[in-house]
Structure 1
Amino acid sequence: MIEIRALRYFLAVVDENGFTAAARRLHVAQPAVSMAIRKLEESLALSLFHRRDRGIELTDEGRILLDHARRIIQATEDAELEMRELQGLDSGEVRIGIPSMLGSYYFPPILMAFRHRYPKLQLTVVESGARKIQQMISEGEIDLGVIVSNTPPDDLETRSFLRDQMTAVMPLDHPLAGQASIAYGDFFKEDLVVFKQGYFHREVLDRLAQESNYPLQIGFETNLLPLIKQIVRHGFAITTLLAMVIAEDADLVARPFSEPVWLDLSIAWRRDGYLSRANRAFVDFLLEHAASEQSRLGT
Structure 2
Amino acid sequence: MSVNFEYYKVFYYVATAGSITAAAKKLFLTQPTISHYIQSLEKELDCSLFLRTKKGVIMTPEAKQLYSHIALACEHIFEAEQQLENAKHLMAGTITIGASETTLHHFIMPYLKEFRARYPNIKIKISNSNTPAIMKLLTEGLLDFAVLVVNDDIRVEKPFFQNALDKIQDIFVAGPEYAHLKNQPLSLEELKSYPLICLEKGTMTRSFLTRFLLDHKIDWDADVELDSHELIRMLVMQNFGIGFIPNIVVSDDIEAGDVFHLKINSVIPKRRISLISNPNTLSLSSKAFISLFDHLTL
TM beyond 0.5: yes
- Say which SS state the counterpart of residue 142 (structure 2) adopts: coil
Q: Counterpart of 1:137?
A: 138
Q: Counterpart of 1:84?
A: 84
Cα distance between partner residues in 2 of 1:232 and 1:89: 44
TM-score normalized with structure 2 length: 0.63
Q: Counterpart of 1:268?
A: 276
Contact 2:199–2:226 (CA under 8 A) maintained in structure 1? yes
- Say which SS state the counterpart of residue 135 (structure 1) adopts: helix
Cα distance between partner residues in 1 of 2:92 and 2:263: 44
Q: Residues 102, 87 of structure 1: CA spacing in aligned structure 2 closer, same or farther, 3 A cutoff?
A: closer
Show structure 2 runs of 5+ residues with no match. 1-79
Q: Letter of the aligned partner of 2:228 in structure 1?
A: L
Are 2:167 and 1:163 equivalent residues in the alignment? yes
Q: Residues 118, 181 of structure 1: CA spacing in aligned structure 2 closer, same or farther, 3 A cutoff?
A: farther
Q: CA deviation at 1:103?
A: 1.7
Q: Letter of the aligned partner of 1:202 in structure 2?
A: R
Contact 1:149–1:158 (CA under 8 A) maintained in structure 2? no
Cα distance between partner residues in 2 of 1:117 and 1:176: 50
Cα distance between partner residues in 2 of 1:231 and 1:210: 25
Stretch deviating more after TM superposition (114-123 or 195-204): 195-204
Question: What per-residue deviation string (whole Å, max 9, x for no partner) do you get for residues 190-229 of structure 1?
Answer: 2112212332221211111222222233121112333211
TM-score normalized with structure 1 length: 0.63
Cα distance between partner residues in 2 of 1:174 and 1:166: 19
Q: Aligned-residue CA RMSD in angstroms? A: 2.5
Show structure 1 runs of 5+ residues with no match. 1-79, 295-299
Contact 2:95–2:286 (CA under 8 A) maintained in structure 1? yes
Cα distance between partner residues in 2 of 1:212 and 1:106: 30
Which of 279, 290, 293 is 1:283 aligned to?
A: 290
Q: Counterpart of 2:54?
A: none
- Say which SS state the counterpart of residue 248 (structure 1) adopts: helix
Q: Letter of the aligned partner of 2:162 in structure 1?
A: T
Q: Identity of aligned pairs, percent?
A: 20
Cα distance between partner residues in 2 of 1:227 and 1:277: 37
The alignment of Structure 1 onto Structure 2 pairs a total of residues equal to: 209
Q: CA deviation at 1:176?
A: 6.3
Q: Counterpart of 1:252?
A: 259
Q: Counterpart of 1:37?
A: none
Written as runs of structure 1 = structure 2, the 5 A alignment for 1:1-299 is: 84=84, 87-147=88-148, 148=150, 150=152, 151-155=154-158, 156-175=160-179, 177-179=181-183, 181-249=185-253, 250=256, 251-255=258-262, 257=264, 258-270=266-278, 273-288=280-295, 290=296
Q: Letter of the aligned partner of 1:159 in structure 2?
A: N
Question: Over alpha carbons, which structure has the higher Rg?
Answer: 2
- Say which SS state the counterpart of residue 215 (structure 1) adopts: coil
Q: Residues 173, 91 of structure 1: CA spacing in aligned structure 2 closer, same or farther, 3 A cutoff?
A: same
Cα distance between partner residues in 1 of 2:88 and 2:268: 49
Q: Residues 256, 284 of structure 1: CA spacing in aligned structure 2 closer, same or farther, 3 A cutoff?
A: farther
